[in-house]
Amino acid sequence: MAVIHHTTLKPTKLELLASWLPTRPWYVGAGEPELTKAGGFRLDDPAGEVGIEFMVATDASGAQPVHYLVPLSYRGAPLDGADHALVGTMEHGVLGQRWAYDGCHDPVLVDRLLALIEGRAQAQAQSISDAPDREVTRSYTGEGSPSAAARTATATDDQDGTELRTSDGTVVLRLHRVLRPAVQAPQDADGHITGAWQLPDGTRARAVFAALHTTHRDLA
């Protein structure tokens, strides 16, 4: 179980994201974003080493607010071979220096995300220890588990979001980075995750965060 520490972060997560988001091909703003945290959830790392958060950040810098899904992993030491995925470093008031990564490039986050889709993991509240997030729903209709194959997955950003594809092409996981309320999962998806966040007017919105496709059904 991950323990949520209510303490200081320097710089804050949103300060890191304000510099990082404009470098992404799926960022739709024209300049520096004006970010607020609008929602999200966490997942537990069974080993207790990696913090895993799926944050929804709302950018109010344009004519209309834009809602971004940002999977983040937090580590106490650099992740080998992942310099390209580093969002930044922070000084945590309890844990010390933390390395924050774009979680799509972190194998622990990807494994836990697939475990959530398959029903082997439970989404946790973003800011409360040991509290399931009941607003996060998941579905998986495939046979077997794609987790083993997905250990070879590589992440690629494009204008529509982030795609994780295994080396043999049997598993494709698409993360929707720009969230649009009420968008449904593709009918041919083998699994998906839906989450919620708060709109600027105080109402709650829901959308598909991630959709899973497998090319065959005999995954072991």
For residue 217, the model assigns a pLDDT of 46
- CB-CB contact of 185 with 192 (8 Å): yes
* Closest to 37 measured CA to CA, from 6, 63, 13, 71: 13
Kindly report the number of other CB atoms within 10 A of residue 188's CB atom: 7
- Rounded to the nearest integer, the mean pLDDT of the chain is 90
The region of weakest confidence among 5-14, 44-53, 84-93, 152-161 is 5-14
The domain segmentation of the chain, as residue ranges, is 9-214
Phi first, then psi: give them for residue 115, nearest 5 degrees. -60, -35
- How large is the average pLDDT for residues 177-186? 86
Quick one: CA torsion of 102, 15, 183, 136, rounded to 10 degrees?
Answer: 70
* Closest to 127 measured CA to CA, from 2, 219, 4: 4
pLDDT digits (tens, 9 = 90+) for 20-75: 999 999 999 988 999 999 999 999 999 999 999 999 999 999 999 999 999 999 99
What counts of helices (H) and strands (E) characterise the chain?
2, 13
- How large is the average pLDDT for residues 130-137? 93
Is the pLDDT at 85 greater than 70, yes or no? yes
